[in-house]
Amino acid sequence: MKMKSLLLAVLFICGFMMANAQTSTFEKGTKVFNLGVGFGGNYYSGYNTGITRTPLIGASFDIGVKDGILDKGTIGVGGYVAYKGYKYESGYGYGWKSTNLVIGPRGTFHYPLVDKLDTYVGVLLAYHIVSEKQTGNWEGYNYSASSSSVYFSGFIGARYYFSEKFGLMLELGSGNLGSGTIGIALKF
């Protein structure tokens, strides 16, 4: 329900801003670095006590490579990396630690809908690395495991620029460690 409310709020804000003139905020040669904190996701959500979560920390980079798609659209390419961790302590001297890392290339299609708002959709080819290991006193056990997988993920996003170089960003659906990311965008 929270995700639906957030999406409705974003759509409302975008609709409110539609009266502004349309100008391009992302074009061929534009380079943008995003840094954000993730929200949503339900990894290990069944535990109520003893768990410590590291929030999703994500970074991405996009560069515009082709203008003039569907008149005002621009294609971008770049990369994405994100980290999220968990640690469980039972209270009896044992527990486990889990780390998740996602890294991979991504492609974006930017289309200006509102002045100062860079709106886009994209795909991510992600490599997901998961590792777990026990912590504390397990009386003779020494458990650790790791796994990795490759997957595609789609996302939508928007960057609102307060100045020529600085803005806020929101992406929904980027990667599988959370529902989205909110943070800053730096254009150079």
Q: Given the structure tokens 């515009």, which residue do they identify?
A: 64
Mean predicted lDDT score pLDDT of the chain? 82
Kindly report, residue by residue over 10-43, the tens digit of the pLDDT.
Answer: 555 544 444 343 445 899 999 999 999 988 765 5
Residue 170, burial from CB neighbour count under 10 angstroms (0-12, 13-18, 19+): buried
For the chain, give every domain's residue range.
27-187
Kindly report, residue by residue over 50-108, the tens digit of the pLDDT.
Answer: 677 788 899 999 999 999 999 899 999 999 999 998 888 877 777 888 899 999 999 99
State the Cα–Cα distance between residues 32 and 42, nearest whole angstrom.
29
pTM for the whole structure:
0.78
Structure tokens at 12: 């409302």
DSSP one-letter code for 114? B
CATH 3.40.50.10860 fits 27-187, yes or no: no
Residue 169 has pLDDT above 80, yes or no: yes
Residue 19, burial from CB neighbour count under 10 angstroms (0-12, 13-18, 19+): exposed
139-151 average pLDDT score: 82
